[in-house]
A and B are shown apart, each in its own frame.
Chain A
Amino acid sequence: MFKVKLKHLVVLGTSLGLAALAAPSMAAQDCTVNIGADMALTGSLGALGQAIANGTRLAVSDVNSGGGVNGCKLALVLGDDQTSPTVGVDVAKKLVDINHVPAIVGALSSGVSMAILTSVTAPGQVVQISPASTSPAFTQLAAQGKTGGYWFRTTPSDALQSVAMAQVAREAKFKKVAVMYINNPYGEGLSAGFAKAFGALGGKVTANVVYNDKQPSYRSEVTQAMAGSPDALFLIGYPGDGTTIAREWVSAGGPQKFLFPDGLQAQKFIDDVGAKYMKVVWGTAAGSVETPSLKVFREEYKKAHGDYPTQAYMTNAYDAVMVIALAMEHGKGNSGQIVRDNIRKVTGDGGQAVYAGAKGYAEAVKLLNKGKRVHYIGTAGPLTFDKYGDVSGPMAIWTVKDGKVTNERMMSVKAIEKIAAKIKG
């Protein structure tokens, strides 16, 4: 009787020991950390959203080939918001309640992101990082303390660009500028910010004319904008309607001097209007810094999907996932709170720079495990989040030379901040 018991004990002990030995390696394969993506895969932003979703998926596979998060596999739960706030909110709630994600990448449209933020992520203490919502309304909401610090975005607010544009306009010796802007949060935010900044720098906005997209003609809006004899036109919009407006402006006899934002930085737009009708062109665009990370991203994207589309926000979505993974790794945990509190500790400019890609991520994890401070250089530019979750990045100043869109110089974050302080003070 006793003998048998002993034998049992030995077997039990050995198997327990083996199990204990096996446990760590098992854990590395078996545990999964979910993060969510709430993106427009159909609806009006569907075409854009699919490539952006590919950006997040690429980042997840890089994180996993780089060793995963805290020894676990990172999994992406992707939901389609159909570019509709009601559906987007439902998708987000599902991600939070059923998939238990500590962080959501999305949404794209500012209206959808805002609905998710106010009704799901902020009350549910889940980090939300949008790769594409540029509306300044988020900064205001954060300033009122209604986001709980859970809101971030990897694309700069339009407020940054409007300051840079005001400075560019002053340097071009424009005193009076007419503004025409597309009726959406992008146009509204950029035009309002520009009017404020340009006024503070001693310029004058002679007209601030809003237009709705997809109209056959903009003659009446152009006439309205020309009143007050401006020196130049600041046109905010996208190439399709932008071409119509710029042509009507020129044919109505407006000064052939233009200011264009990132939305119009397209060679096709310049060609369609005719470069010879544009005597002076100055433009701004966000985050177009060539980082080593961007090179890695471009190569990986090409490898995974065949070609690399020229479209915005894919890189921003990639960065959002990387920042979440690094924050979890830094905080040694995966709750929403840990992600929120550690995002600023793996970005900014302290410690050693780390880059995108599986190798870059593995390197970052190694440094973090040694207790070193790192900061992630994004594929869309260096990332520094301010206290409202807004990212600041340098602005590229571009112009048209011999009919070609050419980057002229960079305006650094510090330079923009200096001008912004001057405007406030």
Chain B
Amino acid sequence: MIGLFSYLVFFLIIASVFAIVCLGLNLQWGYTGLFNIGVAGFFAVGAYSYAILAGPHHAARLGSFGVPFLPALALSMVAAGLAALLVGFPTLRLRDDYLAIATIGIASSIQLVATNERWLTGGTQGARNIVQPLAGAFSSPLRYNLFFLAMMVAFVAVVYLALERMVNSPWGRVLMAIREDETAASSLGKNAFAYRLQSFVIGSMIIGLGGALYASFITFISPEDFLPVLTFQVWAMLIVGGSGNNRGAIIGAVLIWGLWTGSGSLAQMVLPADLQVKGGAIQIVLIGLVLMVVLIFRPRGLFGSRKALIGHGATVPE
């Protein structure tokens, strides 16, 4: 029993990392309509920034700054925000498909930098011995994980409440107006580009926070952590949870991560021993199936009340 509980705590820690990342993406896609498929890139910037800032002295790569936990998190967010600013300036004037292509390219570039710039990131060997907050203050790994989970829940709550306030403010209404009809919003004197950039940068900072928290929990990161599949996972979470709804983003993260890891156990349990080796493939099929079923029966996701300024069903004149 204690084992199951211990695993559940561990599972929820990772799921809450995804929840934070998913909330960041929700601001960009759900509220502003920015098609960011470079989530893994900003996650990586946050993770590596934390590893470099909070890490102990390391001979092979940069990082002996010994920045304490919370300032290191804040600075990692700033780093991810700066990366988003650099990327956003040239690309946010692009719309839809163009932005998507640009962000996917940037995520791969960031991943390649992580692979190649050994002095900065540790290269393919990865960055290890990343500092955990309050490491050694707890008597058992389970107690430590309980503390970490409590901290993660607090972070998710803070990000959630902050985002709720933001999207329900006049600022948030402008974002949604731009999402629905950029020309109309511009005609009201709103600088669409500036708003899109703000949303993109803030969303990426939140994604970066997720990356930093991930690095601080696992204590080891390598370029393998930041492959495009991560972006796909987060998108699946947001689509299933319901884009444009912060609660949906959190619940989608927990559900999809549960499906992602649970389907493997299910395959191993159900299949006879001879087929277990092939069982991994069924897992992928199952994930695809759930995505399709959700898209067919709940196209707006489980909690998808993408609050449209123009009511659903109303037609916009071309």
Of residues 229 through 279 on chain B, the ones whose CB sits less than 8 Å from some CB of chain A are: 229-230, 260-261, 264-265, 267-268, 273, 276-279
Q: Which residue of B lies closest to A184 (CB)?
A: B124
Question: If A78-B268, A79-B264, A97-B10 touch, does A111 touch B277 (CB 8 Å cutoff)?
Answer: no
Chain B, 193-252, CB within 8 A of any chain A CB: 214, 217-225, 227, 229-230
Q: Which of B11, B124, B220, B227 is close to A118, meaning CB atoms less than 8 Å apart? A: B220
Give Cα A54–Cα B227 distance, bound, in whole angstroms.
27
Contact B141 A114 (CB under 8 A): no
Indicate if the CB atoms of B278 and A50 lie closer than 8 Å: yes
Decide if B280 is an interface residue (CB 8 Å cutoff).
yes
A90 touches B14 (CB 8 A): yes
Q: Give the one of B4, B222, B278, B284 with max A CB within 10 A.
A: B222
Given known contacts A78-B276, A97-B7, is B261 in contact with A118 (CB within 8 Å)? no
* CB of A53, distance to nearest CB on chain B (Å): 5
Q: Are A86 and B14 in contact (CB under 8 A)?
A: yes
> Mask for A86-101, Cβ within 8 A of B = 1, else 0?
1101110110111010
**By DSSP majority rule, is chain B's interface helix, strand, loop, or mixed?**
helix
A-B contact count (CB 8 A): 127
A70 nearest CB across to chain B (Å): 21
Task: Select one of B4, B118, B141, B278 contacting A124, CB under 8 A.
Answer: B141
Chain B residues within an 8 Å CB radius of A342 = none
CB < 8 Å neighbour of B261 from A91, A114, A141, A212: A91
A104 is an interface residue with CB less than 8 A from chain B: no
Q: Does A155 contact B (CB under 8 A)?
A: no
Identify which of B83-91, B125-133, B164-172 touches chain A.
B125-133
Contact of A115 among B129, B141, B220, B273 (CB under 8 A): B220
B125 contact from A83, A119, A137, A210, Cβ within 8 A: A137
Contact status A98-B7, CB under 8 Å: yes
B99 to chain A, nearest CB (A): 26
Known A-B contacts A84-B227, A87-B261, A90-B261; the reply to A141 vs B128 at CB < 8 A is yes
21 contacts between A and B (CB under 8 A): A41-B278, A42-B284, A50-B277, A77-B268, A78-B276, A80-B279, A85-B218, A85-B221, A85-B222, A85-B224, A87-B261, A90-B10, A93-B7, A93-B11, A97-B4, A97-B7, A118-B219, A119-B218, A119-B219, A141-B128, A212-B112
Residues 143 to 201 of chain B near chain A (Cβ within 8 Å): none
- A79–B268 contact, CB under 8 A? yes
CB contacts (< 8 Å) of A210 on chain B: these are: 116
| Category for how many chain A residues contact B | 35 or more
A146 to B225 CA separation, bound complex (whole angstroms): 21
| CB of B3 within 8 Å of the partner chain | yes
CB < 8 Å neighbour of A97 from B3, B225, B229, B261: B3
Q: Nearest Cβ in chain A — how far from B258, in angstroms?
A: 10
Q: Complex formed: what's the CA distance from A338 to B48 in Å?
A: 37
User: What chain A residues lie within 8 Å of B14 (beta carbons)?
Assistant: 86, 89-90
Q: What 0/1 pattern do residues 287 to 299 of B give for CB contact below 8 A with A?
A: 0000000000000
Which of A85, A91, A112, A117 is most buried by chain B, counting CB atoms within 10 A of its CB? A85
Docked pose: A121 CA to B4 CA in angstroms: 16
**Contacting residues of chain A (169-204) with chain B, CB-CB under 8 angstroms:** 183-185, 188-189
Contact: A42 with B283, CB < 8 Å? yes
**Distance (whole angstroms) from the CB of A195 to the closest CB of chain B:** 14
> Nearest Cβ in chain B — how far from A84, in angstroms?
7
B303-318: which residues lie under 8 A (CB-CB) from chain A? none
Complex Cα distance, B278 from A112, in Å, reads 20
A135 located at the interface, meaning its Cβ lies under 8 Å from any Cβ of chain B in the complex: yes
B64 on the A face (CB < 8 A) = no
Chain A residues with Cβ below 8 Å from B260 are 87
B6 at the interface (CB under 8 A from A): yes
Asked if residues B141 and A123 are in contact (CB atoms below 8 Å), the reply is yes
Q: Of B218, B280, B281, which is within 8 A of A89 by CB?
A: B218
- With known contacts A78-B268, A82-B280, A210-B116, A114–B220 Cβ distance under 8 A: yes
Which residues in window 21-60 of B have CB below 8 A to A? none
Set of chain A residues within 8 Å of B225, measured between Cβ atoms: 84-86, 111, 115
The answer on a CB contact under 8 Å between A183 and B124 is yes
- Measured between beta carbons, the chain B residues less than 8 angstroms from A375 are none
B128 touches A80 (CB 8 A): no
Check A119–B223 contact: CB distance below 8 A. Answer: no
Smallest beta-carbon distance B232→chain A, Å = 11
A96 to B7, CA, bound (A): 8
Which one of A54, A94, A146 lies within 8 Å of B7 (CB-CB)? A94
Closest A residue by C-beta to B4: A98
- Chain A residues contacting B6 (CB-CB under 8 Å) are 97
Q: Does A109 sit within 8 A of B, measured CB to CB? A: yes
**Is A46 at the interface (CB under 8 A from chain B)?**
yes
B280 near A42: Cβ-Cβ < 8 Å: yes
Most buried by A among B218, B261, B268, B280: B280
Q: Are B281 and A119 in contact (CB under 8 A)?
A: no
Closest to A146 in B: B129
Q: How far is the CA of A89 from the CA of B220 in the complex (A)?
A: 11
Closest chain A CB from B123 CB (angstroms): 6
Residues of B within 8 A of A212 (CB): 112, 115-116
Q: B140: nearest residue on chain A (CB-CB)?
A: A123
Is A185's CB under 8 angstroms from B125's CB?
yes
Contact B128 A188, beta carbon cutoff 8 Å: no
- Interface residues as binary, A104-131 with B (CB distance below 8 Å gives 1, 0 otherwise): 0000011110110111000110000000
Chain B residues positioned under 8 Å from A57 (CB to CB): 273, 277
Task: Give complex CA distance A189, B125 in Å.
Answer: 9
Q: Mark A140-165, 1 if CB is under 8 A from B, else 0.
A: 01001010000000000000000000
Q: Which 8 A-B pairs have the closest CB atoms?
A: A41-B280, A97-B7, A80-B280, A42-B280, A111-B224, A111-B222, A97-B3, A123-B141
B264 to A, closest residue via Cβ: A80
Measured CA separation A87–B217 after assembly (Å): 14
**8 Å CB contact of B128 from A46, A89, A137:** A137
**Residue ID in chain B nearest A100 by CB atoms:** B3
Residue of B nearest to A120 (CB): B10
